[in-house]
Amino acid sequence: MNRLDPASLGRSGRSPALDRDALRTGVVHLGAGAFFRAHTAVYTEDAMLATGDTSWGIGAVTGRSARVWEQMAPQDGLFTVTERGSGSGAVRVVSSVTGTLAGPRDPRAVVELIGAPGTRVVTLTVTEKGYRAAPLTGRLDVRDPSVRADLDGAPPLTSVGQIARGLQLRMLRDAGPITVVSCDNLSGNGDRTGALVADFADALPGAEGDRLRAWVAESVCFPNTMVDRMVPATTPEDLDRVEAALGLRDEAAVIAEPFRQWVIEDRFAAARPRWESAGALLTDDVLPWEETKLRILNAGHSLLAYLGLSLGHRTIAECAADTVAATAVHRLVHEEALPSLRLPEGLDGPAYAESVLARFANPALGHTTAKVAADGSQKIGPRLLPTIRAVRERGGEPRWGALAVAAWMHHVATAGPRVEDPLAATLAGLLPDRRRAADVVPRLMEAGVFPGELVADTVFTGLAAHWYELIDAGDTRALGKEITL
């Protein structure tokens, strides 16, 4: 079977939606994984199609694994998105990527691309852990060996290093202002990225850092954004199904739910794609959107994944169909998350929450609990802790937030050193020999994930220990009784 690329597509009587000869690279994207392909790349293609302005082709930079480069580069950046769920559509060929760079193999080319005068926007989806920030402070972890190497002048491999060195090149060449758009699930993701770049500059020797910092303050914007689309990992069966539908082999195919959303703070240092013509919302107040999505969708997702794993479920949809897990997530979002939020203007909170729960139940998506459970040490903070703190500030008991934390701890204790988490070694090192609640919960409270005030809060830690015990006992009836009470 022929591989998807512009020529094979042409031979099959079709052509990419965009005129590839007219495309210029205006955007550099760091972290060209499945989410980027199903979200940012689609919005950018739609914006170019709607406006006819083809100067926003994307130079896509892959992360640590060479796999993504091997998927995309031989296809000249073409790939497909297939929607699964109600109203699911055909296999769509996306053509907004103009080139694919393997970040680890070609770090100098990444810096060069960010420094190119035609580049006016950098977008990034590098996941929570990709920022190399300490979970509790959000500051750049300058003791991390890769961060250190980037600071010492090696061709940069970390995302913050790539951005900072790219900006430095723009400064030196006078290539003009640029906007860096973080699209990861962190609250205040743009502000955080800006602060990390400033931390990087501060850690550079003397005048070099001062100069970079001053130029960035003057010439770079870091708008906050909220991104949303559930994108599972593509499976070999998915690839075969796409091949059957397309008539060509697409190794870079992605599967996604039909829903997508992007809310972007309208704060740009230079020109940008007209993403609003592709359905994005440009606004000056993104924080309520970010917080609402993180505390309802992402927090609910994490609770379903951790509790679901302890109940033996493989997919999020199976969890959503399980009365015990579904009730727990319903109670987390309605009883604790919603009352803690400043909602975006005009958004009906309970209706939003219900629409999110309905999306979890999408049986066609095949989103696995294992994928959502990954990197918990980086996800608990932005998703769950603000809700838990808000409940405590009101003098309440954060039952459902504590259940999510306990379920995460149980997952960590069960997986041991095999847990998929950048802090895996630290977490495994903290685990006591005896895996009882009284031993595990206080130890994992010291993982650097929970702030001192929560570690010292016996109402919170007591609830976590209680839930941990119930989960660990494996008595689903007893657990169900408490949750549905």
Residue nearest to ligand CS2 according to CB distances in the complex: 301
| Span 178-237, contacts to ligand CS2 by CB under 6 A | 185, 228-230
Count of alpha carbons within 13 angstroms of residue 115, beta-carbon side:
18
Residue closer to ligand CS2 by CB (options 316, 447) is 316
Half-sphere exposure of 226 (CA within 13 A, CB side): 24
301 binds ligand CS2 (CB under 6 A): yes
* Contact residue for ligand CS2 among 125, 189, 298, 461 (CB under 6 A): 298
Pick between residue 37 and residue 165 the one whose CB is nearest to ligand CS2: 37
Residue 260 sits in the site that holds ligand CS2 (CB under 6 A): no
Question: Is residue 372 part of the contact set for ligand CS2 (CB under 6 A)?
Answer: yes
Q: Which CB sits closer to ligand CS2, 297 or 338?
A: 297
**Smallest distance, Å, CB 148 to ligand CS2?**
28
Give per-residue burial for 101-132: e unless 16+ CB within 10 Å, then b: bbbbebbebbbebbbbeebbbbbbbbbbbbbb
- The one segment of 14-22, 80-88, 117-125, 294-302 that binds ligand CS2 by CB under 6 A: 294-302
Question: Hey, what are 141's tokens?
Answer: 């972890």
Q: Does the protein bind ligand CS2 through residue 411 (CB under 6 A)? A: no
Q: Closer CB to ligand CS2, residue 113 or residue 384?
A: 384
**Is 215 or 408 the residue whose CB approaches ligand CS2 more closely?**
408
Residue range at the interface with ligand CS2 (CB under 6 A); choices 89-97, 243-251, 296-304, 337-345: 296-304
Distance of closest approach, residue 352 Cβ to ligand CS2, in angstroms: 13
Least distance (Å) from ligand CS2 to the CB of residue 61? Answer: 20
Cβ atoms within 10 Å, residue 373? 24
For ligand CS2, the closer CB: 34 or 390:
34
Q: Which is nearer to ligand CS2, 149 or 233 (CB)?
A: 233
Closest separation in Å from C-beta 279 to ligand CS2: 15
Min dist. Cβ of residue 436 to ligand CS2 (A): 28
Minimum Å gap between C-beta 183 and ligand CS2 is 10
Task: Give the number of residues in contact with ligand CS2, rule: CB under 6 A.
Answer: 10
Nearer to ligand CS2 by C-beta: 84 or 371? 371
| Shortest separation between residue 372's beta carbon and ligand CS2, angstroms | 4
Nearer to ligand CS2, 120 or 371 (CB): 371
Convert residues 1-30 into a mask of x (bound to ligand CS2 by CB under 6 A) and - (unbound): ------------------------------
Out of 132, 371, 399, 411, the residue judged to bind ligand CS2 by CB under 6 A: 371
Q: Least separation, in Å, of the C-beta of 144 and ligand CS2?
A: 22
Which residue lies nearer to ligand CS2 by CB, 412 or 470? 412
Asked if 160 is part of the footprint of ligand CS2 (rule: CB under 6 A), the reply reads no
Which residues contact ligand CS2 by CB under 6 A? Answer: 185, 228-230, 297-298, 301, 371-372, 379
